[in-house]
């Protein structure tokens, strides 16, 4: 089944049987009080709640149409053996790892596999048939089996929602473009980190260079 999604810079036709919804890092760490972003002073709770409610609608609409729902989840082993170490820029720049160093008494609270911080928001929990891909870098394609999963299901079109728009969402979307997928950013289904212009910058980058940009309302109406 094919549907045409209103988008910028032009509408895009999706083959529903070859489309997946990528839910990026909708974890307590990035969208809840007490999580990594909150501790680091980066949480906009109002925005996060709005994104959660929007994503819930998009996920439900996608499941109804049989679109494969794939969650990405950021996480580190307790011993940080998958974090890269001091010779990796990831070790110095990723906020969960920074929080560990700044709050050593709580170091296992921040994005540690199995922790509350690492878990996906209760309102968006994966359902049977969904897929969860564990990652330890901003891009969901790096050091993961995401590409193999998408190839297995003959996926060609990717819808993107999640947090943060300008970090993990954009990093994964750019890599999707390089892997020859057709990426579509659901703009209000994503929340940025930092000033509002970072959201607008990613929207511009995607619509002008790396793919297409739609809204949750336009996507859900088209899927109906």
Inter-CA distances, 217 with 6, 51, 189, 196, 223, Å: 10, 13, 10, 21, 10
Q: What's the helix, strand, coil split of the chain in %, to 5?
A: 45, 25, 35
Task: Check if 123 is active-site.
Answer: no
Inter-CA distances, 86 with 37, 80, 130, 192, Å: 22, 11, 35, 27
Query: CA-to-CA distance for 52 and 33, rounded, in angstroms?
Result: 14
Tokens for 190? 């994503």
Query: CA-to-CA distance for 193 and 188, rounded, in angstroms?
Result: 14
Catalytic residue (choose from 38, 135, 175, 188)? 135
Let me know if 80 is exposed, middle or buried by CB neighbors in 10 A (0-12, 13-18, 19+): middle
Task: Check if 168 is active-site.
Answer: yes
What is the C-alpha R_g of the chain?
A: 17
Task: Check if 135 is active-site.
Answer: yes
Catalytic residue (choose from 55, 109, 168, 175)? 168
- Asked if residue 89 has a cis previous peptide bond (ω within 30° of 0), the answer is no
* Residue 117: alpha-carbon gap to chain centroid: 16
Which residues form the catalytic set? 25, 135, 168
């Amino acid at each position: 089944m094919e549907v045409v999604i209103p988008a910028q810079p032009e509408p895009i036709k999706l083959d529903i049987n070859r489309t997946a919804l990528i839910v990026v890092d909708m974890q307590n760490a990035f969208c809840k009080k007490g999580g990594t972003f909150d501790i680091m002073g980066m949480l906009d709770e109002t925005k996060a709640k709005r994104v959660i409610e929007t994503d819930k609608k998009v996920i439900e609409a996608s499941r109804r149409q049989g679109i494969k729902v794939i969650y990405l989840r950021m996480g580190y082993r307790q011993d940080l053996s998958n974090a890269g170490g001091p010779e990796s820029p990831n070790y110095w720049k990723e906020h969960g790892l920074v929080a560990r160093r700044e709050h050593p008494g709580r170091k296992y609270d921040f994005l540690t596999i199995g922790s509350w911080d690492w878990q996906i928001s209760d309102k968006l929990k994966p359902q049977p048939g969904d897929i969860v891909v564990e990652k330890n870098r901003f891009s969901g394609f790096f050091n993961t089996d995401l590409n193999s999963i998408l190839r297995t299901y003959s996926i060609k079109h990717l819808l993107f929602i999640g947090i943060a728009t300008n970090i993990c969402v954009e990093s994964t979307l750019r890599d999707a473009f390089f892997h020859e997928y057709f990426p579509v950013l659901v703009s209000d289904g994503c929340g940025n980190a930092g000033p509002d212009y970072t959201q607008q910058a990613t929207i511009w980058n995607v619509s002008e260079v790396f793919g297409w940009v739609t809204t949750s309302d336009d996507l859900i109406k088209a899927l109906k």
